[in-house]
Amino acid sequence: MNKDIEIYNLIDSYLRSELSSTELADFKHRRSIDPGFDLMVVEHENLVGYLKEYGDRVQLTSEMNAIYQEIDVEALKREVQPELPVVRKMWDKYRVSAAIAAIVAMIAVFGTLFSTGYFTEKISNNYLRRKLSSIERSQNAINKKLTDKPSIGPINPGQFGGTGFAITSNGYIVTNYHVVKDADSIYVQNSAGESYKAKQIYIDPTYDLAVLQIIDPAFKDLASLPYTFKKSASSVAESVYTVGFPKDDLVYNEGYVSSSNGYEGDTVAYQVSIPVNPGNSGGPLLDNRGNVVGIINRKQTLVDGVAFAVKSSYLLKSIEAIPQDSLEDKLILNKRNQLSGLKPSEQYDKLKPYIFMVKVY
């Protein structure tokens, strides 16, 4: 654990621009060759950003409450002009000082937590994720109260993008384009909790598809894929299921194809009656014979249990469009199905190693 503390102290020095030119060069070199260290830097930087932003909002709320106490409400009611211009003037007057004070306060708090050893027994990826989620929920609550106020700064997009699944055993993964759009860094995490650095090698915004490649030296090739990719269309009322990461754990859901077309008649997708959440985006949709028939890419926000999935035939078209000479490793799809005839629980067990949480930064 002392080693973790030393690493986070080093990262803090980097974030505060306190490293010498030699130390900075060594730091950047270490990030380039050590994906695990790079992930720690990204996660710690996100945590610091969350804390700063949370401090901004807490301080802003305090300042606004103080301003409200100074306002003579009864006098304002007697004024011909409405309240809003008065509040806006005060907001413009105080928001800069509030933001600066909040940032200084949160940096001081964060430094105190480390210096007192608060994190010595709790530093772990899961712990950081829980803290980030808690802070994010607090931010959302404050945002609801301040929806008519200007934003102090950009909202951190968070670290969880969605789901992806292997299309080959040698590290190629498919997910939705909207999951990884504008990402600076991409990591994929398997059901065992092992994270690997990945990069985009092909995107198809038209079909909302993105093909990733794991580039982490710690990654070992998977066993042969147990599923295949269906070329023909699936029938309405056909039973299907999906496996994905709507939360930290892998989740299995069953349903059926409810329409041969997607939202507003979109022929690229199926409409599926199946419970999904945003984290399911990019996950596979399979029939009960173990064929991938689609890729979950959105849900109907106004109706529970209705989702849409890009048809597998469009995934195959996207894969065929990738220039093979641009790839470092061959991308060859599996043609042997190992799931047909197995019970759902047995299919799920075989699928688990091939489904990944896609984390974007």
Mark whether 72 is an active-site residue.
no
**How many residues does the structure list for the chain?**
361
Mark whether 281 is an active-site residue: yes
Q: Which residues pair with 240 in a beta bridge?
A: 255, 287
Catalytic residue among 12, 133, 138, 178: 178
DSSP track, 108-129:
HHHHHHHHTTTTTTT-SHHHHH
Q: Which of 38, 208, 216, 287 is catalytic?
A: 208
| Measured distance CA(123)–CA(120) in Å, rounded | 6
29 is catalytic: no
In this structure, which amino acid lies at residue 37?
F
Type of residue at 49: G
Q: Who contacts 311 (Cβ-Cβ below 8 Å, separation ≥6)?
A: 233, 234, 268, 269, 270, 293, 294
DSSP 8-state secondary structure symbol assigned to residue 334: -
Q: Which residue has the tokens 């991308």?
A: 331
Which residue among 195, 281, 312, 318 is the active-site one?
A: 281
Q: What are the residues facing 208 on neighbouring strands?
A: none
**Which residues are known to be catalytic?**
178, 208, 281
